[in-house]
Amino acid sequence: MVQIKKFVFSPFQENTYVLYNEDKEAWIIDPGCFYEEESQALKEFILEEGLTPVKLLNTHCHLDHIFGNNFVHREYGLLPEYHKLDQPMLDMAPSQAKLYGIDGFQDSPNAESFLKEGTTINLGQVGFEVRFVPGHAPGHVAFINHSEQIVIGGDVLFHHSIGRTDLPFGDYDTLIHSIKSQFYTLAPEFTVYSGHGPETTIGEEINNNPFTK
Ligand SMILES: [Zn+2]
Ligand SMILES: [Zn+2]
């Protein structure tokens, strides 16, 4: 059984997820902590629960999803794992921060290893399939657990909305194709934990998402 703790961080209101199991092993996914008190909130939660972070994962490398990579690296010695095709997003992040007028952006370290679609990564006994879902970002991936019907989906699909495609290397048709081929083929009961906003389900979005009708 995987437990999921969600934080909402930074002026971008980004969802950071900590996934953990009975053995207290934890993944930190898309740490978006930007302000010192946000990093401390993440740290305190991990301390209080007695967790050992074993992986730092990025669904994609947009600014708001990697704000805390530097902190997590310093605090827990973890290097990020993301898809190779999102390396340009990570490389671009410091200049994007300037563009948005954000002071105090801390550079993310580079990947320890790249995530590959079709592989499974394990949190203890629980496997998560890595799915390639480009369109919002060129190397966007989602983490899918079939037994507990969980999708950690990043900025692909939101409650009644979809990810932006007007950012560098975004592509609308590619995004719609990713959603329909990689998400909508899952059972309707799957819960989607998105990069922004509330959780939703595959069934809810198939039936009511205006962008994919
Ligand atoms: Zn994004
Ligand atoms: Zn985002």
Q: How many helices (H) and strands (E) does the chain have?
A: 6, 14
Q: Flag whether 213 is in a domain.
A: no
Are residues 68 and 40 in contact, defined by beta-carbon separation less than 8 angstroms? no
State how far the Cα of 80 lies from the Cα of 57, in Å rounded to an integer: 6
Quick one: pLDDT at residue 37? Answer: 98
Q: Which domain holds residue 124?
A: 3-208
State how far the Cα of 213 lies from the Cα of 210, in Å rounded to an integer: 6
Q: Flag whether 18 is in a domain.
A: yes
CA–centroid distance, residue 166 to ligand 2 (Å): 13
Quick one: pLDDT at residue 127? Answer: 98
Tell me the pLDDT tens digit for each residue of 158-201. 999 999 999 999 999 999 999 999 999 999 999 999 999 999 99
CA–centroid distance, residue 23 to ligand 2 (Å): 30
Q: What is the mean pLDDT of the chain?
A: 97
Quick one: pLDDT at residue 160? Answer: 98
Q: Is the dihedral of CA 143, 149, 155, 156 positive or negative?
A: positive
Q: Flag whether 123 is in a domain.
A: yes
Instruction: Give residue 106's pLDDT band: very low, low, confident or very high (50, 70, 90).
Output: very high
Tell me the pLDDT tens digit for each residue of 112-169. 899 999 999 999 999 999 999 999 999 999 999 999 999 999 999 999 999 999 999 9
Q: Flag whether 91 is in a domain.
A: yes
User: pTM higher than 0.85, yes or no?
Assistant: yes
Are residues 32 and 39 in contact, defined by beta-carbon separation less than 8 angstroms? no
Residue type, 44: E
CA proximity to 195, closest of 149, 147, 141, 146: 141
CA–centroid distance, residue 196 to ligand 2 (Å): 6
Quick one: pLDDT at residue 161? Answer: 98
State the ligand closest to the CA atom of 62.
1
Q: Flag whether 146 is in a domain.
A: yes
* Rounded mean pLDDT, 67-80: 98
CA–centroid distance, residue 4 to ligand 2 (Å): 18
Output the domain CATH number for residue 34.
Answer: 3.60.15.10
Q: Flag whether 138 is in a domain.
A: yes
**Structural domain total, the chain:** 1
Burial code (b: 16+ CB inside 10 Å, e: under 16) for 86-112 equals bbebbebbeebbeeeebeebbebbebe
